C-alpha cells in the first residue's frame, strides 16, 4: 500500500504459480533482446524489433530510471526455475485526476498460447486494485491482434469500443479495441480473477 505520492508505483516483486514479476536489471537485456528482435513479437506493439542488444539495454535503463522516480513502469516476467526473462508487463501511464492507468505487455514467441500472459495480467490487476487502489485499468490492442484481446477478456476486462485510426504503428494508422476493468467489477468477480492457478486450456 502506498502513502507517498512520489512512490505511487513501487513496482514490488510479484509472483504467480509459474512466474516472477520483478524490476529488470541490465543483466536481463540479453533475454529481452532475444525475443525483442523477433518481428512477430514487435508487430502489434509501438516499438520496432530490436537490431542491437544495446537497444534492449537502453530500454532497461529507461525502466530503471522510472523505478527510481516511482513512475509507472514495467516489470520483467521471469519464468520460475529457469531465470529466463520471457516478457514484460506494466503501466503505460497513470492519470492522477482520474485514478486510472493503462497496462501493456509482450511475450517471447516460444511462450505464446500457454496462458502465461493471462496469469501475469491477472496478478497485475489484483495488485493494481488491492495494493495501489487504482479505480480503472485500461488496455488496448490492435484489432488484428485478437490473442491480446482474448487475454483481456480472460482477465475480466470488458470491451468498451473500437477506436478508429487511434494509433500510428510502423507507418500505418490502426484501429484499436479498448478494454477496461473497474475496481467494482474486480470486487464482484474477485474469485474468478484470482491468479493463483495457472490457466488451463
Ligand atoms: C498477445 C500475447 C501477450 C498473448 O500472450 P499469451 O501468453 O500467448 O496469451 P494466453 O496464452 O494467456 O492467451 C492467448 C489466447 O488467445 C488465443 N489466440 C491465440 N491466437 C489467436 C488468434 N489468432 N485469434 C484469436 N485468438 C487467438 C488463444 O487461443 C488464447 O485463448 P484461449 O485460452 O481462450 O484459447 C502474446 O501473443 C504477445 O506477446 N504477442 C506479441 C506482443 C503483443 O502483441 N503484445 C500485446 C500488444 S496489445
Q: What is the pLDDT of residue 192?
A: 76
Q: What is the pLDDT of residue 4?
A: 46
Output the nine-digit C-alpha cell for 152.
483481456
Mutate to test the pocket of ligand 1, among 18, 36, 113, 155 (most ligand atoms within 8 A of CB): 113
Task: Tell if the pTM clears 0.75, that is, is over it.
Answer: yes
* Cα-to-centroid distance, 110 and ligand 1 (Å): 12
Q: State how far the alpha carbon of 122 is from the alpha carbons of 23, 68, 103, 109, 171, in Å.
A: 18, 25, 11, 20, 32
Cβ(122) – ligand 1 distance below 6 Å: no
Residues 6+ apart with CB under 8 A from 125: 103, 137, 155, 156, 181, 186, 193
Output the nine-digit C-alpha cell for 182.
473497474
Q: What is the pLDDT of residue 62?
A: 98
Cβ(44) – ligand 1 distance below 6 Å: yes
Residue 71 has pLDDT above 80, yes or no: yes
Q: Whose Cα sits closest to atom 48 in ligand 1?
A: 141
Q: Tell me which residue of 170, 143, 145, 144 sits closest to 48, measured CA to CA.
A: 170
Torsion of CA 73, 30, 79, 10, to 10 degrees: -20
Structural domains in the chain, CATH included, are 5-136 (3.40.630.30)
Q: Mean pLDDT over all residues of the chain?
A: 94
Cβ(145) – ligand 1 distance below 6 Å: yes
* Cα-to-centroid distance, 114 and ligand 1 (Å): 9
* Cα-to-centroid distance, 151 and ligand 1 (Å): 6
Q: How far apart are CA 39 and CA 184, in angstroms?
A: 38
* Cα-to-centroid distance, 62 and ligand 1 (Å): 27
* Cα-to-centroid distance, 67 and ligand 1 (Å): 28
Q: How far apart are CA 166 and CA 40, in angstroms?
A: 21
Q: Tell me the pLDDT tens digit for each residue of 15-39.
A: 999 999 999 999 999 999 999 999 9
Q: How far apart are CA 141 and CA 43, in angstroms?
A: 11
Residue 122 has pLDDT above 90, yes or no: yes
Three-class DSSP category at 37: coil
Torsion of CA 164, 169, 171, 174, to 10 degrees: -20
Q: State how far the alpha carbon of 150 is from the alpha carbons of 28, 132, 179, in Å.
A: 28, 25, 11
Contact 156/194 with Cβ under 8 angstroms? no
Amino acid at each position: 500500500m502506498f502513502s507517498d505520492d512520489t512512490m505511487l508505483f513501487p513496482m514490488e516483486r510479484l509472483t504467480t504459480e509459474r512466474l516472477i514479476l520483478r524490476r529488470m536489471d541490465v543483466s536481463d537485456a540479453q533475454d529481452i533482446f532475444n525475443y525483442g528482435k523477433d518481428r512477430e513479437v514487435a508487430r502489434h506493439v509501438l516499438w520496432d524489433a530490436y537490431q542491437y542488444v544495446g537497444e534492449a539495454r537502453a530500454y532497461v535503463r529507461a525502466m530503471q530510471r522510472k523505478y527510481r522516480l516511482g513512475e509507472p513502469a514495467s516489470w520483467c516476467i521471469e519464468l520460475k526455475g529457469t531465470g529466463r526473462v520471457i516478457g514484460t508487463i506494466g503501466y503505460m501511464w497513470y492519470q492522477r485526476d482520474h485514478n486510472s492507468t493503462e497496462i501493456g505487455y509482450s511475450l517471447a514467441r516460444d511462450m505464446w498460447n500457454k496462458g502465461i500472459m493471462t496469469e501475469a495480467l491477472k496478478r497485475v490487476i489484483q495488485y493494481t486494485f488491492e495494493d495501489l487502489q487504482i479505480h480503472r485499468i485500461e488496455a488496448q490492442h490492435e484489432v488484428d491482434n485478437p490473442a491480446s484481446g482474448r487475454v483481456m477478456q480472460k482477465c475480466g476486462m470488458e470491451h468498451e469500443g473500437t477506436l478508429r485510426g487511434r494509433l500510428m504503428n510502423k507507418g500505418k494508422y490502426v484501429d484499436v479495441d479498448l478494454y477496461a476493468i473497474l475496481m467494482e467489477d474486480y470486487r464482484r468477480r474477485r474469485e474468478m480473477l484470482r491468479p493463483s492457478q495457472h490457466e488451463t486450456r
